[in-house]
């Protein structure tokens, strides 16, 4: 192909775009010209009509002394109006989207021209009847604004009579509800129509908001859903407490309607309440528990200017830890993770949001002593949040040695590296599955807690040198390479653990599984109709972890009061309802039986641990269960060797070390546990 031909081919599209732009410009110019001609006729006709009305609607009765000044002033007034209208951009608006701003411009333009008309015709020609000035100004305003808002009015009427519009019930007749209603009316293309409003304030009942009736309170939701044929429900009560929101949603989920929720007050404060802010109602909203509201000032004062390391920093909890830490001026943030995709995602997010943050992202395993020693030697983190762990119960039942290698031994190696490199605080992320564990994952996390307690005991006794260093390959990572023991003098690392329940929205949460099953049309699988769990949100879990870093004095196990346990079966059925389906009708619920290592309930604390209060009434400290630290540490090295040799009987070794580990109580036997009978309430 020749250069000329290429050039011709390249130029084709711009020419087409130019023609298209010219065509659009011509249409806009034509519309503006029509509007200009209309205004010329309207402004003069308005004052002529005022004269006609003044003289009893008879043209023949209009006195010439008034008709002649009107006729002579008309050309002058026409020019004055066009100039004023142009300066106030009455020929530049997109009138299909006309709103208060455009209305204000028309009001101002009409006011200015009315004053000009009164002053000029009176001073130059003669004084006219008072009714002429008043009626003429009003008629001119009506004619000018009518032409400009009529298009939007026609569009609104078409939407209101559209048979395809989804009928919406709006809960909340306050500021947020009014903004949502106006936004729906403003966005002409939204295939939605608000047909009724619900509000618990009786003084608002039987009144109207934007032409839509307020039909009653929450007790009237079900009746009016049927009466008005409602298909969608918008919950616009951002100031409601978690309990109030839960009660409203529990009523709404009994309908077949799609539910949307305005998340919080911040949108209202910022004036950004839009339909686009409405989110799908989440299961978290149905839990009905207020989020933990801790005073985080001490936490962030503690973190400011420190070198902080997060292991497993790409995971659900780890990444949220990184977000909150990055927001509060650490000297340096080190993310350490074995899975590069997650680490890369949080790296991109933090670099975009905090360009001045000194961020280091390292790929490596907590099993690798040499890598850990290298990282601690190079960066000297002062605070470590240890979130790296295998957490999937059934998978760990199939690979028990991996749970021990990664969780127990990985925690030990990370803690040891932190201790000998001058780390100030080491915070372990634990789980309620560590309490009376019936699965190897829970048992491995209990081993992690015991590791932390052992380190704390030895350090406080001034015996840090007696903590054995576990090697899989001896060499570079040897802490006491010079043989003087100097590295173990003045060790002051404080070790604590944080224990919480299931985290909604995390990678291992059951909620994403349920959602995928619902999207496929079911069935939704629940292991047992009576299985219960404690739940919390990711921000709550992270707040607890951060608080543990400030409350710590060494050796504690921090526990969050997570409220009442929730039945997984109820959770699954609620999620089906929130998706607009009926459980066991549209989407079936199937029970598959307890999985290996799974029990019907989880406990927050072992019965013998007891609780101490902290400054936050929802955060407690479990008193550590005493055990022989020296025996435990000697057993741990044997356990490591058995794990790395992939001994199929690894559970027997774990059971010898953890008196509360009872793998035989998983499955059906757990149903007979007396504690469960006390926890479950029908």
The whole-number pLDDT of residue 325 equals 92
Interatomic CA distance for residues 22 and 559, integer angstroms: 69
Closest to 423 measured CA to CA, from 359, 479, 471, 475: 479
> How would you classify the pairing of strands 383-386 and 566-567?
unpaired
> How would you classify the pairing of strands 611-613 and 619-622?
antiparallel
> How would you classify the pairing of strands 279-280 and 307-311?
unpaired
pLDDT at 149 over 90: no
The whole-number pLDDT of residue 670 equals 43
Mean pLDDT value of segment 431-450 = 91
Q: Which two tokens stand for residue 653?
A: 């070794």
Residue 290: other Cβ atoms inside 10 A: 11
Taking the alpha carbons at both ends of the chain, their separation in whole angstroms is: 80
Interatomic CA distance for residues 393 and 442, integer angstroms: 8
Q: Check if the beta carbon of residue 167 is closer than 8 Å to that of residue 231.
A: yes
Could you give phi then psi for residue 2, rounded to 5 degrees? -75, 165
**C-alpha dist (Å) from residue 452 to 382, 394, 446, 584:** 17, 25, 10, 47
Q: Which two tokens stand for residue 521?
A: 């049309």
**DSSP category for residue 121:** I
Closest to 445 measured CA to CA, from 368, 365, 389, 501: 389
The whole-number pLDDT of residue 292 equals 58
**386: β partners:** 311, 428
**C-alpha dist (Å) from residue 608 to 55, 204, 435, 498, 625:** 99, 55, 11, 18, 7
Mean pLDDT value of segment 24-28 = 53
The whole-number pLDDT of residue 40 equals 84
Most confident segment among 176-185, 266-275, 329-338: 329-338
Closest to 408 measured CA to CA, from 136, 643, 93: 643
Residues recognised as catalytic = 433
Q: What is the pLDDT of residues 376-413, one digit of tens each?
A: 999 999 999 999 999 888 899 999 999 999 999 999 99
Q: How confident is the model at residue 454 (pLDDT cuts 50, 70, 90)?
A: very high
Q: Check if the beta carbon of residue 261 is closer than 8 Å to that of residue 285.
A: yes
What radius of gyration, in Å, describes the C-alpha atoms of the chain? 36
Q: What is the 3-state secondary structure (H, E, C) of 400-417?
A: HHHHHHHHHHHHHHHHHH
The whole-number pLDDT of residue 334 equals 97
Q: Check if the beta carbon of residue 558 is closer than 8 Å to that of residue 548.
A: yes
Q: Supply the pTM of this predicted model.
A: 0.63
**C-alpha dist (Å) from residue 349 to 354, 385, 386, 546:** 8, 20, 21, 21
**C-alpha dist (Å) from residue 653 to 395, 401, 447, 624:** 19, 11, 12, 22
Up-side HSE of residue 164: CA atoms within 13 Å toward CB?
4
**DSSP category for residue 362:** E
Q: What is the pLDDT of residues 636-675, one digit of tens each?
A: 999 999 999 999 999 999 999 998 888 865 444 444 443 4
The whole-number pLDDT of residue 681 equals 41
**C-alpha dist (Å) from residue 448 to 105, 388, 444:** 69, 11, 6
More confident residue, 349 or 88: 349
Per DSSP, the three-state class of 209 is: strand
Every domain of the chain and the residues it spans = 23-158, 162-281, 302-480+487-677
User: Any alpha helices (H) in 220-339, and if so which ranges?
Assistant: 221-227, 242-252, 265-270, 283-287, 297-303, 316-326
* Topology adopted by domain 302-480+487-677: Rossmann fold (3.40.50)
Interatomic CA distance for residues 408 and 473, integer angstroms: 17
CA angle 226, 228, 232 (to 5 degrees): 85
Comparing 162-281 with 302-480+487-677, is the CATH topology the same? yes
Which residues make Cβ contacts (< 8 Å) with residue 201, sequence separation at least 6? 173, 217
Bond into 523 cis (ω within 30): yes
Which residues make Cβ contacts (< 8 Å) with residue 599, sequence separation at least 6? 438, 439, 665, 666, 670, 673
Closest to 376 measured CA to CA, from 493, 547, 499, 550: 493
Burial class (CB in 10 A: 0-12, 13-18, 19+), 112: middle
Per DSSP, the three-state class of 533 is: strand
pLDDT at 219 over 50: yes
Write the class of the CATH domain 162-281: alpha beta
The whole-number pLDDT of residue 674 equals 38
pLDDT at 187 over 80: no
Helices (H) and strands (E) in the chain, counts: 23, 22
pLDDT at 122 over 90: no
Q: What is the pLDDT of residues 190-213, one digit of tens each?
A: 577 888 999 988 999 988 888 889
**279: β partners:** 261
Q: How confident is the model at residue 677 (pLDDT cuts 50, 70, 90)?
A: very low
């Amino acid at each position: 192909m020749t250069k000329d031909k290429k050039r011709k081919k390249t130029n084709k599209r711009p020419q087409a775009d130019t023609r298209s732009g010219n065509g659009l410009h011509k249409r806009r110019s034509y519309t503006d010209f029509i509007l200009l001609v209309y205004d010329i006729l309207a402004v003069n006709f308005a004052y002529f009509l005022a004269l006609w009305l003044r003289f009893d609607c008879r043209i023949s009765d209009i006195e010439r002394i008034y008709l002649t000044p009107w006729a002579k002033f008309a050309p002058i007034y026409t020019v004055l109006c066009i100039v004023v209208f142009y300066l106030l951009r009455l020929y530049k608006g997109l009138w299909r989207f006309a709103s208060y701003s455009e209305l204000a411009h028309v009001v101002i333009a009409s006011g200015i021209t009315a004053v000009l008309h009164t002053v000029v015709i009176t001073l130059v020609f003669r004084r006219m009847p008072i009714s002429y000035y008043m009626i003429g100004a009003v008629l001119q305003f009506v004619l000018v604004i009518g032409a400009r808002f009529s298009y939007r009015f026609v569009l609104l009427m078409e939407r209101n009579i559209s048979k395809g519009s989804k009928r919406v019930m709006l809960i909340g007749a306050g500021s947020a509800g009014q903004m949502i209603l106006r936004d729906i009316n403003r966005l002409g293309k939204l295939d939605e129509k608000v047909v009724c409003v619900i509000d618990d304030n009786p003084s608002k009942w039987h009144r109207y908001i934007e032409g839509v009736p307020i039909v009653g309170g929450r007790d009237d939701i079900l009746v009016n859903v049927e009466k008005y044929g409602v298909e969608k429900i918008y919950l616009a009560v951002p100031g409601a407490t978690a309990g109030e929101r839960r009660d409203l949603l529990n009523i709404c989920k009994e309908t077949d309607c799609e539910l949307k929720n305005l998340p919080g007050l911040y949108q209202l404060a910022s004036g950004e309440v839009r339909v686009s802010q409405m989110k799908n109602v989440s299961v978290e909203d149905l839990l009905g528990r207020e989020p933990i509201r801790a005073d985080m000032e001490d936490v962030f004062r503690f973190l400011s200017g420190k070198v902080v390391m997060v292991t497993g920093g790409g995971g659900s909890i780890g990444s949220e830890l990184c977000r909150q830490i990055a927001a509060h001026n650490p000297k340096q943030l080190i993310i350490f993770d074995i899975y590069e995709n997650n680490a890369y995602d949080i790296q991109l997010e933090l670099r975009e949001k905090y360009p001045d943050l000194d961020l280091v992202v390292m790929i490596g395993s907590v099993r690798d002593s040499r890598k850990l020693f290298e990282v601690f030697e190079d960066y000297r983190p002062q605070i470590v949040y240890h979130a790296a762990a295998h957490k999937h119960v059934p998978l760990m039942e199939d690979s028990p040695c991996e749970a021990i290698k990664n969780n127990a031994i990985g925690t030990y190696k990370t803690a040891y590296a932190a201790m000998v490199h001058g780390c100030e605080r080491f915070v372990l992320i634990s789980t309620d599955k560590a309490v009376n564990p019936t699965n190897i994952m829970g048992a491995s996390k209990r081993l992690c807690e015991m590791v932390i307690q052992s380190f704390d005991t030895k350090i406080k006794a001034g015996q840090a040198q007696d903590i054995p260093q576990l090697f899989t390959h001896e060499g570079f990572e040897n802490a006491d390479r010079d043989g003087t023991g100097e590295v173990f003098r003045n060790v002051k690392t404080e070790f604590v653990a944080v224990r919480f329940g299931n985290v909604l929205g995390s990678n291992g949460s059951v909620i994403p599984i349920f959602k995928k099953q619902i999207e496929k049309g079911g069935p939704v699988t629940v292991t047992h109709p009576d299985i219960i769990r404690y739940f919390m949100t990711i921000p709550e879990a992270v707040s607890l972890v951060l608080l543990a870093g400030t409350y710590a004095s060494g050796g504690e196990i921090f526990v969050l009061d997570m409220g009442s346990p929730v039945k997984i079966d109820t959770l699954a059925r609620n999620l089906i309802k929130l998706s607009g389906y009926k459980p066991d009708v549209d989407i079936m619920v199937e029970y598959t039986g307890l999985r290996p290592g799974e029990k019907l309930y989880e406990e927050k604390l072992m019965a013998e641990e007891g609780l101490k209060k902290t400054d936050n009434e929802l955060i407690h400290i479990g008193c550590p269960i005493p055990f022989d630290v020296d025996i435990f540490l000697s057993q741990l090295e044997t356990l490591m060797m058995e794990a790395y040799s992939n001994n199929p009987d690894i559970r027997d070794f774990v059971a010898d070390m953890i008196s509360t580990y009872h793998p035989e109580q998983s499955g059906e036997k757990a149903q007979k546990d007396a504690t469960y009978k006390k926890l479950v309430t029908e």
